[in-house]
Each structure stands twice: as C-alpha cells, then as structure tokens.
Amino acid sequence: MNFTTLFFISIGLAMDAFAVSLTEGLALKKIHIKHILRVAFVFGTFQAVMPLVGWLVGGMFYDKIAEYEHWVVFGLLAFVGIKMLLEAWENQKCENHGKCDISSNIIALGVATSIDALAVGFSFSLVPGLNIYSTVFIIGVITFIISSAGVYMGNKAGQFLGYKAEYAGGFILIGMGCKVLFEHIA
C-alpha cells in the first residue's frame, strides 16, 4: 500500500472523530489546550489501536480468505463507508430538526468512532508486506491532528461542518474500496 492510499484511508477513518471533535468543541464555552489534547489523544489512540487489533484477528483467517481478499477489502471499506454515510444522515437530521445530545464520555466516543478502524485493520491483514506498525502510527497521528483541528474549529466556528465531515469520510472509504477492487480486476 502506498503512502497516498494510506493517507486517504487515514483521513476517511478520522472523519467521524473529526465530526465528534467538532461537537466537543461546541460544548466548550472556553477552550484550553488541555481540552484539545485530551480529545485528540483519545481519538488518535483508538484510531491507531483498533486497526492493529483488526490486523491481528484478520491474520488468523488469512489462509481461508486470501483468494477473495480483494472482495473482502472492498466489502469492508464499502460497508464502513456506507455506515458512515448513514450516521452522517442521522446527524444531519438531528442538527436540522432538534437539539443534539452532547456526550462528555470521551472514552466511549473514542471507541465508537474507531469501530470502523477495526474493520479496516482486518482488511490490512490481507495486504502482503504491509508494515502495520508504521501504518497504525500514521493513522493515529493524522487522527490526532484532525481531531485537534475539530475541537478548535468546533469551538470557534460553531457547526461549520458537523455531519458533512462524516459524509466526506464515508465517500473516501467507499472510493478506496472501489480502488482496491478495480486494481485487482484490471
């Protein structure tokens, strides 16, 4: 997997963390660097750990699915992307028609926003020669940076992006899944 592909997968995975970071920023009346760092650290850590767990679990089943790996990668990325689009649609309805609940349990939010990264990690186990440690490090760092920006922007710009960030993440993941499938078929 080249860096460009990994970069876009990382951005796609970070979009739900970004959307939640925006809402965390909205909830803060006065922003402090400790708030930004706390949210970014939790989201970055979970986004890095979950693909590693998925990769470890996926490695156990590689022999059974290696022949169909391109379909599995496509299916997982498309599934996660569609899931993100549906969540974005729900968040859009929430923002347009009523008051949304703002959660303060950042650990639960970290887990919730990284479930898709677990599925992506499973697909990583199907990529021959992938250095999983540098891969999850890059995912974690990009999520940290994007989440930091999300808290800051949420606090300063209100609901500037909200659910739109999740739409972008969903489309990026679906696009990357289609790219993997196309490369194998072509």
Residue 30 or residue 120, greater confidence: 120
Provide the mean pLDDT of the chain: 80
pLDDT at 162: 59
* 159 has a pLDDT exceeding 70: no
In this prediction, residue 144 carries a pLDDT of 98
pLDDT at 100: 52
Q: Count of residues for the chain? A: 186
DSSP assignment, residue 131? -
Lowest mean pLDDT among 41-45, 51-55, 94-98: 94-98
Whether residue 181 contacts residue 93, with contact meaning beta carbons closer than 8 Å, is answered with: no
Sequence ranges of the domains in the chain: 32-185
Q: How far is CA 101 from CA 20, 50, 109, 128, 186, in A?
A: 11, 26, 13, 43, 46
**Segment (H or E) for 48:** helix 33-60
* pLDDT bracket for residue 103 (50, 70, 90): very low
User: What percent of the chain stands above pLDDT 70?
Assistant: 77
